[in-house]
Structure formats: C-alpha cells, structure tokens
Amino acid sequence: MEPWKFPPRRSMFYKLFVVFLATALLLFVVIRGFFFLAIDRNHSFKADLFVNLVKYSTQLVAEIGAPPDQNRAIQLANELGVQFLANTSTGTWATDATLPNVSLLNIDPSYSQPGLQVGRYHRHPFVIVDRGDWQVVVFYLHRPFGELPGWSFALLIGVVGAIIAGSFMVVRRLFRPVKWLTEGVNEMALGHLDRQVPVHSTDELGELSKSFNAMAQRVRDMVQARDRLLVDVSHELRSPLTRMKLAVEFVQEEAPKRKLQEEIRELEAMVTELLEAERLDSQYGGLVLTQTDVVSLVLEIIETDHVLEPLVRLVASPTSVVLPLDRERVGLVLGNIFQNAKKFSSLQSQPIEVRIETDSSSVQISIKDCGRGLSSEEQALIFEPFYRVDTSRTRKTGGYGLGLSLARKIMIAHKAELSLQSELGHGSTFTLRFPFIKAD
C-alpha cells in the first residue's frame, strides 16, 4: 500500500473534508444557540424553575432544623448532591469549602421575594432562605465532570479524534476515483493511450470512470487506425518510389532530372519517418539502449549544423552526463528540433541557446530560439502528424510535419518527456527531460 500524503490545499478531497468539519461546527453552534434561546432566555421556563427550587429549598432548610444543624446539612448534601452555606448568630459554616460568601452572589430580583431570594452562581442556581437571625443558602452545583477520572478527558479527545479520522478515511476512499482519473488524464496527455482507470463503484464517479475508459479505448482505436493507414500507404509507396528513381536515371536533361530527384528524396524522407514511427510501436523495432554521454551527443549535433544560420550555442552544461539511450534516435530528436528552430528564425536572430541541466531525478535539455513563436492554438497541434505551422507548405520551410511527431514518439519510448513553451513574438523553448533510469 502506497504511503498516504496529505492532500494539497486545492484538492477537491481537502475542500470536502473542510466542508464536513465546518458543517459539524455550525450545527453545534446552531443547536447550542437554540437551547440558549429556548431555555436560558425563556422567562416562563426560568420562572417555573425558580418557583420549584424555592419550594424545594424551603423544605430542605426546614429539614436541617432551626437554627440550622451542620451535621444534618452535611448528611443531606451527601445524599442529594446539593450544598449549604449558613450564616447564624454563632458563626458561618458550609458543606463545601469552595462555596462563595453571600456578599459575592448576584441576586435576580425578577424571581425573588421577601425572605426568599434566587439567582445564579457560575450558571448554577441558588436559593437564599432568610429567617432574620439566621440565613441558609442552598446551592444546586451539578458537577458531573468533577466526578470523572482524569483520563476520561483524554479518552473523550481520543474518541472524537477517531471519529474524525474515520470520516477522513471514508471520504478519502470515496474520492480515490478522482485521483485515478487525474492520473489517467495525465498519462493520456503524455501519449500513453492504453491507460485504463480502475472501476470499483457504481456511483457517479464509477460511471465517470467507465466513460473515461470507453473514451480512452475509442481514442486509441482511432489513433491506431490512423497509424495503420499511414503505415500501409507508406509501404505501398516503396515500390513506386523505387521505380521512379530508376526511371529518373534515364532523363537526359540535368535541370528536370535534379528537380525530380529532389522531389523523390523528400517523398522518401517522409515515408522513412512514417515507417520509423511504426517501428517504435513494433515489438521488433524497439529502442537499442546504450550508455550515451548526453553532452557529447548534443555537441555532435551542434557541430553537424554549425554552418547554418542562426548559430547554435551551448550556454550551460555539466562536463558529462551518461544515460541509457538510443543514441541514433535521440540524435534524430535533437536534429529535428534544431532544424525547426533554424527554420522559423531569421538570419539576424540571436543564436539558439542550448542548456543541459540535472537535478536529483532527471536530465533536462532546453533548446531556446528567438523566432516568431507559436500561439496557444499552434502549440496544441504542433506534435500532431502532418501539422505544419506554415500552411503554405512552401519550398522554403519544407517538410511534411512529421519531425516533431516522430520526436515525441521517440521520447515516449524512452519514458521521457518533450514539452514546449512559446509565445508569439518571443520565440520557443523545447525541453527534453530524461529520467535517471537503468538500462534493461
């Protein structure tokens, strides 16, 4: 079982749990407020309460005698849970040493009468029975918490905490499909179209998970059908291309011959890229991983293209970073990105900057140009097969829109990421992120 991590503040799970706690708190406040208004501020209830307390107190005082007998008062206090404070001509005594002096008590004149005064002490009612030469105060001090052992408060806190923790775990379990769906969407965004999320419930989230799986299956089938069509067409083009190359050799005029040969080379390059993409998906055309120095590979690609403007410059890099890579295919990725950066930059542009950086988990290669940049709509489509920013498809920009699509497939095959940050008029930055993994 994976270790639990506290959910981020913006997560739906966290928000719902906070709503539960806030709801419980508000319910407590509302219920307490209702009883406060219904009892504490209900004058008829208080009047009935004090009338009954006065009659009961009068009987108790009569039972302890006149003048009051301290021993009998102590006996009644133990039996009934009430406390007595007496002021007599011989002195003052109390059944509880913590009882306050009569002078400190607040009398409620609304419910008092001559010789019988009532009020509250620390929210507990009391009755003063005054007989002229002696006076008895009857305190109704209910102390249920005082009779509990000290560990009972710790037990109460533990039970409340267990209830909250149980609610927390139940809510977390109910919202597991949200986490799975988020992971599934992220995987699909990276091109892993075979991802399916678990379905363990029949509620709305379970239905949503089923819909996601059906959508993922449909998208995968559509992409596979498209890829099969492209590959089938590419295979079928091999033979006509071979015949065309042979026929061109019999053309006598040099200018038309060079023109035809150039067109055939471009068509061959397109077919090769399509078949290369298919090989990556085949069990027989997977990656050939070797221990490759990333820094050396980048420098080699830069040297290959150094004659083309604008220049490519390595501005930051460690001395050496060795990873298990398919050197040829990663070189193809870098070459395609460099060519695109040069293609959409002017001759007067600043050099294309390359940075190689490492952290604890990955190596990042950033390629930044100062070209025209891409809009958000173009960025969403740039890695799609046959998509080209220059819709005119002129000889100057060339290509068939397959380079970046193939580059992304190669990166996915390496379990790596290819991302883009761009803004119109401020250039583009492609970032290749390779995790530190061991070769199989």
Q: For 180-194, what is each residue's pLDDT tens digit?
A: 888 888 888 777 778
Residue % of the chain over a pLDDT of 70: 82
Given a cut of 90, whether residue 177 has pLDDT beyond it is no
Which pLDDT tens digit goes with each residue over 206-222? 888 889 899 988 888 88
> Would you state the structure tokens that stand for residue 189, as one six-digit string?
């965004």
Given a cut of 90, whether residue 366 has pLDDT beyond it is yes
Q: What is the pLDDT of residue 4?
A: 52
Whether the CB-CB separation of 254 and 263 falls below 8 Å is answered with: no
For residue 201, count CB atoms less than 10 angstroms from its CB and return exposed for 0-12, middle for 13-18, buried for 19 or more: middle
Given a cut of 50, whether residue 9 has pLDDT beyond it is no
> Would you state the structure tokens that stand for residue 124, as one six-digit string?
């507990």
Residue % of the chain over a pLDDT of 90: 13
pLDDT category at 345 given cuts 50, 70, 90 is confident
pLDDT category at 47 given cuts 50, 70, 90 is confident
- pLDDT, average across residues 138-152: 68
pLDDT category at 294 given cuts 50, 70, 90 is very high
pLDDT category at 260 given cuts 50, 70, 90 is confident
pLDDT category at 418 given cuts 50, 70, 90 is very high
Which pLDDT tens digit goes with each residue over 373-407? 888 888 888 888 777 766 554 545 555 667 788 88
Q: What integer best gives the mean pLDDT of the chain?
A: 80
Given a cut of 70, whether residue 132 has pLDDT beyond it is yes
Q: What is the pLDDT of residue 261?
A: 80
Q: What is the pLDDT of residue 440?
A: 44
State the Cα–Cα distance between residues 228 and 222, nearest whole angstrom: 10
State the Cα–Cα distance between residues 398 and 343, nearest whole angstrom: 9
pLDDT category at 433 given cuts 50, 70, 90 is very high
pLDDT category at 274 given cuts 50, 70, 90 is low
- Partnered with residue 432 across adjacent β-strands are 365, 418
Sheet holding 428-435, edge to edge: 312-316, 352-358, 362-368, 428-435, 417-422
Residues 6+ apart with CB under 8 A from 186: none
Return the ∠ at Cα 58 (arms to 55 and 61), rounded to 5°: 150
Q: What is the pLDDT of residue 308?
A: 59
Given a cut of 60, whether residue 328 has pLDDT beyond it is yes
Q: What is the pLDDT of residue 12?
A: 66
Question: Pick from 407, 429, 428: which is nearest to 417 by CA?
Answer: 407
Q: What is the pLDDT of residue 275?
A: 67
Q: What is the pLDDT of residue 1?
A: 46
Predicted TM-score of the model (pTM): 0.46
From 244-258, 322-336, 381-395, the region with the lowest mean pLDDT: 381-395
Given a cut of 90, whether residue 363 has pLDDT beyond it is yes
Q: What is the pLDDT of residue 42?
A: 57
Q: What is the pLDDT of residue 291?
A: 93
Whether the CB-CB separation of 280 and 288 falls below 8 Å is answered with: no
Q: What is the pLDDT of residue 392?
A: 52
State the Cα–Cα distance between residues 30 and 24, nearest whole angstrom: 10
Given a cut of 50, whether residue 355 has pLDDT beyond it is yes
Residues 6+ apart with CB under 8 A from 166: none
Return the ∠ at Cα 299 (arms to 298 and 301), rounded to 5°: 65
> Would you state the structure tokens that stand for residue 427, as one six-digit string?
């250039």
Q: What is the pLDDT of residue 423?
A: 87
